[in-house]
Amino acid sequence: MIKPHASDDLKPLFVYDDAKRNALIVEAESLPSILISSAAAANAVMLGAGYFTPLSGYMNLADARSVAKILKTTDGLFWPVPIVNIVPSARGIEPGQRIALKDPNVENNPVIAVMEVDGIDIASDNEVSEIIEEIFGTLDKAHPGVAAFHALGNVFLSGPIHVLNFSYFEKDFPDTFRTAVEIREAISESGWEKVVAFQTRNPMHRAHEELCRMAMKDLNTDGILIHMLLGKLKPGDIPAYVRDAAIRKMVETYFPPNTVKITGYGFDMLYAGPREAVLHAVFRQNCGCTHLIVGRDHAGVGDYYGAFDAQTIFDTHVPKGALEIQIYRADHTAWSNKLNRVVMMRDAPDHKPEDFILLSGTKVRKMLSDGIAPPPEFSRPEVAQILMDYYKLQ
């Protein structure tokens, strides 16, 4: 099986030893505590689950700036996005202390991790802006990722963490949330050697379904990991439980048995386009995947990124040998009325726009809200019904 990123073994930071974890839970009651952001809590979940191997905790300001600028930590580890715990104030906290990190996303804010504070760095406004512009390619606060980062503050708490739980993800998504440890075990148990991952924060329509089939066929994989984001999204995006139901219905109805693993990961969407695509590749390698589908405007939002920037970044910013996982470069896929099947647009140069069935997201949402199923060439009827039932309640 493919090795984890920059490591021979996964390095999950969740404390699996029950006695040690219980001791930490007791210790946390007497430690100074701080309520962290949703972004920092999501980072803790990903660190705990092994997705962010080989990191041992949150980055300091120097590493965050280095990663933002050159996609490497100060000691040379290739990494595409700063993994940080930024707070508005660290009053009462000193380097060398152990502190309890409280989860903002669970009722009563239980402790999600115990942190050993190695450093407390206060970033200037210019340093924060530089980091944001490097990650997102813009300083426009209309960009949801930029707005979320700006709201965090400017105090960087760095150091290793010991993760005590996986926030709300295990409870809310017991059939779907899986750690990188569990996914690697499942892939190994299935005897899969070549595995392609499909990233999604949306329900899967017919074009997504066929794209997965194309990738599996072209790469001759043993199976596909459909890996959905379960964390925070921007307003208007379809919630995870609805996506989960729709994807499961599609897979059980239209894919052969034992060819698809449906899983989810506990992270908040960054909407960072190209940088987030590289992060997606890193943690899919940690899951044991050999390939990742990177499509048009992967992890993008609005018009902030070029259609294929998330593919070209692997040529321009990922040094040779930095990652073992490979990407499958996908074009926009749509139903061809000429060929009576879903195709990648680049493979149909003789087509005009009217030869495809193309529906905007706005139009699809309007149809679903009105109880009108999109055409079956666009969305499987079983999937459309789940989405219409959801919109009926809005």
Catalytic residues: 201-202
Integer angstrom CA distances of residue 260 from 32, 192, 220, 248, 343: 45, 11, 14, 10, 21
Residue 107 CB-density burial (10 A; 0-12 exposed, 13-18 middle, 19+ buried): exposed
C-beta of residue 196 within 8 angstroms of C-beta of residue 182: no
Tokens for 73, please give them: 């930590």
Measured from the Cβ of residue 81, the count of other Cβ atoms closer than 10 Å reads: 21
Residue 18 CB-density burial (10 A; 0-12 exposed, 13-18 middle, 19+ buried): exposed
Integer angstrom CA distances of residue 195 from 3, 69, 325: 13, 31, 10
Residues 6+ positions from 328 with CB-CB distance below 8 Å: 196, 215, 218, 219, 291, 292, 293, 294
Helix (H) or strand (E) holding 37: none
Rounded CA gap, 174 and 182, in Å?
Answer: 13
Integer angstrom CA distances of residue 270 from 200, 211, 213, 232: 13, 23, 27, 9
Residues in the chain: 394
Rounded CA gap, 224 and 71, in Å?
Answer: 28
Residue type, position 302, single letter: G
Rounded CA gap, 271 and 125, in Å?
Answer: 22
